[in-house]
Amino acid sequence: MKVEYSKQFVKAAYKLKGKYKTSLKKIIAEILEASDPTEVTNCIKMAGLRHSYRIKMGNYRLIFILKIVDQVAFFELLLSRGEVYRKGHEMNLRKKDKS
């Protein structure tokens, strides 16, 4: 799969330290090698959304939208688990998931 990142994701990734940064590198490498999201460790399809998946990484959640046509994983969010499920983030994700 190909990988793309949102500006918000990149900013959050730069703020990570220690084991979270190395975990993120491993997850991205795993996605690059995978042909399907089911092959990625801790990757679960989000309920109520068509193309969105989440990956658990300790206290953080990585949210990505998989564009089926191009096999591109577009990483949208990297937030702590308390923030990721807030209504504002969920509404923005629903809008982006439709396109």
Entry pTM: 0.78
Asked if 46 and 52 count as a contact pair (C-beta separation under 8 A), the reply is: yes
Tell me the backbone φ, ψ of residue 69, rounded to 5 degrees: -60, -50
Tell me the backbone φ, ψ of residue 36, rounded to 5 degrees: -145, 145
As averages over each run of 10 residues, the pLDDT of the chain (99 residues) reads 86 89 90 84 82 83 73 81 72 70
Rounded CA-CA distance 21/18 in Å is 6
Structure tokens at 25: 């590198």
- Please name the amino acid found at residue 56: K
For residue 20, count other CB atoms closer than 10 A to its CB: 16
Which domains, and CATH codes, for the chain? 2-98 (3.30.2310.20)
pLDDT at 99: 60
